[in-house]
Amino acid sequence: MNDMSDGYITADGRQIGGVLMELKNITLKFGGVTAISDISFDIRQGEIRAIIGPNGAGKSSMLNVISGFYIPTEGEVWFKGYKRGPMRPYQVAQLGIARTFQNIALFDGMSVLDNIMTGRLTLMKSGLLSQAMWWGSASKEEDEHREKVEKIIDFLEIQPIRKTPVGRLPYGLKKRVELARALAAEPKILLLDEPMAGMNVEEKEDMCRFILDVNDEFGTTIVLIEHDMGVVMDLSDRVVVMDYGRKIGDGPPDEVRNNQDVIDAYLGVAHD
């Protein structure tokens, strides 16, 4: 893939930039279990990068390595040209990495609006005291953040549930609120862990459109894990395929689809 050193142009005419994050020879072990073994790939500016693989292939672990939650046992993560060391969660957020979770992790008792506002926490500058006293810059700052949040609410078409407590929402909408919260942090890289799991066809279509729109509108780089092969092949620019912690394929969807190892991993192989 050396010919892509300065980016490439996708089938639908989007310009993909240079390398934003590079993962070099990542190995991750939990005690005696090797979750990821010697995987390298890169993520480019503005692309939609999918990670697929059967259950237990190590996809979510990989996502946690990208987000900095797990520190790889071996290997290096390079982000924006710098080698990344261990980080605290707020540092991850400040770097511009946001994510959604496979199991929804929202504050059930809080309204949709307040949940999304929490996504902007790291961007708020006024101190604890002035926020508590609702005084001076704190109130002005909240107005600005609210405006940004309202743009996201408009973007994801969740105006009707703005004031609804999250606990009362159906699953598909909760997923959308989670995406909204991640977007509120204005991330450079958005990590989506199975964004369509458990959704019906209509909800999946909506979610696909939102993911494409986010990528298109904000230029956000997106890394997603997904089981629905149709979705992955339609959405993503490049796909990494994992099986038993190893990388068995990497490339544009069409190329991956015809890769014999991938077919074997997904469909099984006749033993003779």
Partner 1 sequence: MADAVAAEGSAHSIPALLARNVQRYGGYPAYREKEFGIWQSWTWAQASEEIRAMAMGFLSLGVNRGDHIAIIGRNRPAHYWAMVAAQMCGAVPVPLYQDAVAEEMAYVLGHCGARFVVCGDQEQVDKVVEIEDQIHSIQHVMYTDKRGMRKYDHSRMNALGDVVAEGRAGHYRYEEELNRRIAELTYDSTCVMLYTSGTTGKPKGVVLSNRNIIETAKNSCAFDKLTRNEEVLAYLPMAWVGDFIFSVGQAYWAGFTVNCPENASTMMTDLREIGPTYFFAPPRVFEGQLTNVMIRMEDAGKFKKWLFDRYMALARKVGPAILDGKPVSGAERLGYALGNLFIYGPLKNTLGFTNIRVGYTAGEAIGPEIFDFYRSLGINLKQLYGQTEASVFITQQPDGEVRSDTVGVPSPGVEVKIGDNGEVFYRSPGTFVEYYNNPDSTASTKDPEGWVATGDAGFFEEGSGHLRIIDRAKDVGKMADGRLFAPKYVENKLKFYPNILEAVVFGAGKDRCTAFINIDLNAVGNWAERNNIAYASYQELAGHPKVYEMIKSHVNEVNASVALDPMLSGCQIHRFLILHKELDADDGEMTRTRKVRRNIVAEKFADLIEALYDGRTSVYTETEVTYEDGRKGAIKATLSIADADVAPEQRMAAE
Residue 98: name the closest of 122, 114, 81, 133 by CA: 122
Q: How many residues make contact with partner 1 (CB under 8 A)?
A: 19
Tell me whether residue 216 or residue 254 sits nearer to partner 1 (CB atom).
216
For residues 126 to 155, the per-residue mask of contacts with partner 1, x marking binding by CB under 8 A and - elsewhere, is --------------------xx--xx-xxx
For residues 199 to 228, the per-residue mask of contacts with partner 1, x marking binding by CB under 8 A and - elsewhere, is ----------x--xx--xx-----------
Residue 170 Cα distances to 163, 179, 193, angstroms: 15, 15, 19
Task: Tell me the three state secondary structure of residue 120.
Answer: coil
Residue 197 Cα distances to 59, 125, 236, 256, angstroms: 14, 36, 17, 22
Instruction: State in angstroms the smallest separation of the CB of 200 from partner 1.
Output: 13
- Tell me the residue type at 128: L
Instruction: State in angstroms the smallest separation of the CB of 52 from partner 1.
Output: 25
Tell me whether residue 73 or residue 164 sits nearer to partner 1 (CB atom).
164
Among 108, 144, 157, 234, binds partner 1 (CB under 8 A): 157
- Residues facing residue 191 across a β-bridge: 99, 223
Residue 92: name the closest of 188, 207, 233 by CA: 188
Tell me whether residue 88 or residue 140 sits nearer to partner 1 (CB atom).
140
Residues 6+ apart with CB under 8 A from 11: none
Tell me whether residue 80 or residue 162 sits nearer to partner 1 (CB atom).
162
Cβ count near 3 (within 10 Å): 6
Tell me whether residue 162 or residue 168 sits nearer to partner 1 (CB atom).
162
Residue 41: name the closest of 5, 77, 15 by CA: 77
Among 25, 159, 200, 260, binds partner 1 (CB under 8 A): 159
Rounded to whole angstroms, the Cα distance separating 158 from 124 reads 23
Tell me whether residue 108 or residue 217 sits nearer to partner 1 (CB atom).
217
Alpha-carbon 162 to chain mean position: 23
Are 156 and 182 a contacting pair, CB within 8 Å?
no
Instruction: State in angstroms the smallest separation of the CB of 111 from partner 1.
Output: 12
- The reply on whether position 168 binds partner 1 by CB under 8 A is no
Give the footprint of partner 1 on residues 2-21 (CB under 8 A).
Answer: 12-14
Q: Which residues make up the interface to partner 1 (CB under 8 A)?
A: 12-14, 146-147, 150-151, 153-155, 157, 159-160, 162, 209, 212-213, 216-217
